[in-house]
Amino acid sequence: MEAKRYWNPYVAGALLGLTLLATFLVAGQGLGATALPKRTLALAAHEVAPAWTEANPSIGGYVADGQNPLRNWLVVEVIGVVIGGFLGAMSAGRFHVKVEKGPRISTRSRLRYALGGGVVMGIAAALARGCTSGQALSGGAMLATGSWAFMMMVFAGGYAFAYLVRRQWI
Amino acid sequence: MSTAIFPLAIASEEVRLLTAIGLGFLFGFSLERAGFGNARKLAAQFYLYDMTVFKVMFTAILVAMVGLYTLAGLGLADLSLMWINPTFMWAQVIGGFLFGAGFIMSGLCPGTSVVSAASGRIDAVVTFLGIFIGTAVFALVVDFVPGVEALYNGGSMGVSVIPEILSVSTPLFMLGVVIVAGAAFVGAEKVESIFQRKYGMVEHAPKVTRRTPRLKFAVAGSLALVAVFAAFVPPPNVDLPARPMETIEPLDLAELIIAGDPDLKILDFRTVAGQAGSNAIPGSCSCGTDVDKAAETAASVPPGTKIVIYDEFGIWNEVPGSWPESVEYRYVRGGYAAWETDVRTAAETTGHTLAERERIERQNQISAFFTGAAAAQSSSVAAPPPAMPMGGGAKKKKAGGC
């Protein structure tokens, strides 16, 4: 089946913006993505080393109150993202099990880059207390100072390293 | 009590989490439709031949920002009840740069890797696995490597928003963001079309011969946002300087009243105590000391109206800056006290010159008119209109009270 076109970026952006606005109004906070890995990690670490986890500056806050860290708005929201992404891809004929890569790179190399990039982003998002969803998009719309600084630096970092990994994409 | 209805107070935890599913669905769906399930399309942002990341992200930020702060400005949303990302400047600047490096390596960010994985992409699943590992690495590093915790908490500014930092009003700052983003959208369309010739398009993206005129869309969308925005922003409340006001002699005012000048409107600015013990100038309506109420009255009368104001002693001699300029203003010289002595008192009968005797004659006629002795002396003038308590000054005009 031939895949449908992507939406006009301004239309997709407007729907995304309205979704974010609704999230502010309903949940009193923005959207996010890294809450799921962080809270899952907190849950697992708490099983292994409760005292260490509770004292940890990065993930201690999620287990301090004795609640299940996964019983959280942002974690449930990511489940919604999976459903939305899946149904979106299916309905547009874009669901394919494959590796997305540029023409000049092997699948093996691409997956190494993907893993490495994931690790770097995991560290960076934990350090910055959020990712492109929680900081740049949500904090940006709320005009939070640190979120705008984060967003500018994401673009700066991306352009700074783009040349080094160009073989992967173009 | 706050009148804000947002954020919604949802009592049931289950219902609250159900909203997370629904809004998460919309989040994932709109990311997928934008093309963010495709790592190549996202990475293209950094090679300039597909600026979709920038366009989608900033359109979303503009829409949510204008919506949120407009509702807050109208008192419908309470920002103090919402979670706003606290600022840790050093952690976010260094974290952001590092994040950008990871972004271009993987071609995905955490949110889009979820969407891409849900679209079947194996590289996205691997990226998400990497994010788990990175999160664990940081949790260890922040505990065991000296200095990292200081960086993690570095540059703490609490909850800080940019308009506060810059000391500009939020509407003004947002207007600036909308204008800059609009210009950047137009620029992004141009840059994109230049670099597309070099690298070609990402598969599944719209063909080079576009059906949707996106440049026009960018311009029109930006203008529409500015227009929507302008409609919501209240006009700046500038304090205009007061203007000097000219006087009117009590006797001249009295003659205007007798002549029944239709353009005349008299506003009584005496304090309540001042009004209590005495009469008022006929046909005047009482404003108390409410300048804003009087400004409304002044704004509602047709241009060319003569507004005469008076207080106890003629102290008020300036036109407030907020009053419209299309109307002529006068204040009664000497105020109501002068009205009493000049108009409501018969003059001495001794006059030496002709002019003086004429003035005395005139004052006597007028005072007779206003004190009710008119019937005895002259039947040619009608009885004075009674003083109106509120809003009845000029019945013939639509212009309401004070």
pLDDT band at B224 (very low <50, low <70, confident <90, very high): confident
Residue B386 confidence class, pLDDT cut points 50, 70, 90: low
Residue B209 pLDDT grade (very low, low, confident, very high; cuts 50, 70, 90): very low
d(CA A123, CA A125): 6
Would the pLDDT of B398 be above 70?
no
* Distance (Å) from the alpha carbon of A66 to chain B's nearest alpha carbon: 17
Check CB contact of A61 with chain B, cutoff 8 Å: no
B224 has a chain A CB within 8 A of its CB = no
Name the closest residue on chain B to residue A4, using Cα atoms.
B204
Residues of chain A with Cβ-Cβ distance to B96 below 8 Å are 124, 128, 135, 149-154, 156-157
Task: Render pLDDT for B288-347 as a digit per residue (tens, 0 to 9).
Answer: 667 777 777 777 777 778 888 888 888 777 787 777 777 888 888 888 888 888 887 777
Query: What integer pLDDT is reported at residue B204 of this predicted model?
Result: 44
- Chain pair A-B, CB pairs under 8 angstroms: 557
> What pLDDT, on the 0 to 100 scale, is given for residue B384?
53
Q: Rounded distance, CA B180 to CA B176, Å?
A: 6
Tens of pLDDT, residues A23-79: 999 999 999 999 999 999 999 999 999 999 999 999 999 998 888 999 999 999 999
pLDDT given at position B231: 63
Domain extent listing, chain A = 1-97, 102-170
Per the rule left: phi > 0, alpha: psi between -120 and 50, beta: everything else, B335 is left
Interface test with A, best of B6, B42, B89, B123 (most A CBs within 10 A): B123
Q: Using an 8 Å CB-CB cutoff, list chain B residues near A59.
A: 139
**Per-residue model confidence (pLDDT) at position B306:** 84
* Identity of the residue numbered B280: A
Of B34, B79, B153, the CB nearest to A9: B34
Mean pLDDT of B381-400: 44
Task: Note the Cα A149 to chain centre separation in Å.
Answer: 18
ipTM here? 0.97
For chain B, what is the mean pLDDT? 81
Q: Does A124 score more than 80 pLDDT?
A: yes
User: Helix/strand/coil (H, E, C) string of chain B?
Assistant: CCCCCECCCCCCHHHHHHHHHHHHHHHHHHHHHHCCCCHHHHHHHHHCCCCHHHHHHHHHHHHHHHHHHHHHHCCCECHHHCCCCCEEHHHHHHHHHHHHHHHHHHCCCHHHHHHHHHCCEHHHHHHHHHHHHHHHHHHHHHHHCCCHHHHHCCCEEECCEHHHHHCCCHHHHHHHHHHHHHHHHHHHHHHHHHHHHHHCCCCCCCCCCCCCCHHHHHHHHHHHHHHHHHHHCCCCCCCCCCEECEEECHHHHHHHHHHCCCCEEEEECCCHHHHHCCCCCCCEEECCCCHHHHHHHHHHCCCCCEEEEECCCCCCCEECCCCCCCCEEEEECCHHHHHHHHCCCCCCCCCCCHHHHHHHHHHHHHHHHHHCCHHHHCCCCCCCCCCCCCCCCCCCCCCCCC
Structure tokens at B163: 């308009």
Tell whether B52 is within 8 A of chain A (Cβ).
Answer: yes
Cβ-Cβ contacts under 8 Å, A14 against chain B: 59-60, 63
* A156: nearest Cα among A148, A145, A168: A148
DSSP-derived letter for residue A164 is: T
Q: Do B29 and A84 touch (CB under 8 A)?
A: yes
Instruction: Look at B95 and A145 and tell me if their CB atoms are within 8 Å.
Output: no
Distance from CA of A39 to the nearest CA of B (A): 10
Q: What is the largest CA-CA distance in chain B?
A: 114
Which pTM value belongs to this model?
A: 0.68
Interface test with A, best of B6, B10, B25 (most A CBs within 10 A): B25
The CA-atom distances, in angstroms, between B306 and each of B149, B301, B401 are 73, 9, 15
Surface of A (123-162) touching B: CB under 8 A? 123-162
* Residues in contact with A156: Cβ distance below 8 Å, sequence separation at least 6, in sequence order: B96, B97, B100
Q: Which residues in chain B have Cβ-Cβ distances shorter than 8 Å to A9? A: 34-35, 52, 55-56, 59, 214
Structural contact between residues B27 and A104, judged by C-beta atoms closer than 8 angstroms: no
Band the pLDDT of B263: cuts 50, 70, 90: confident
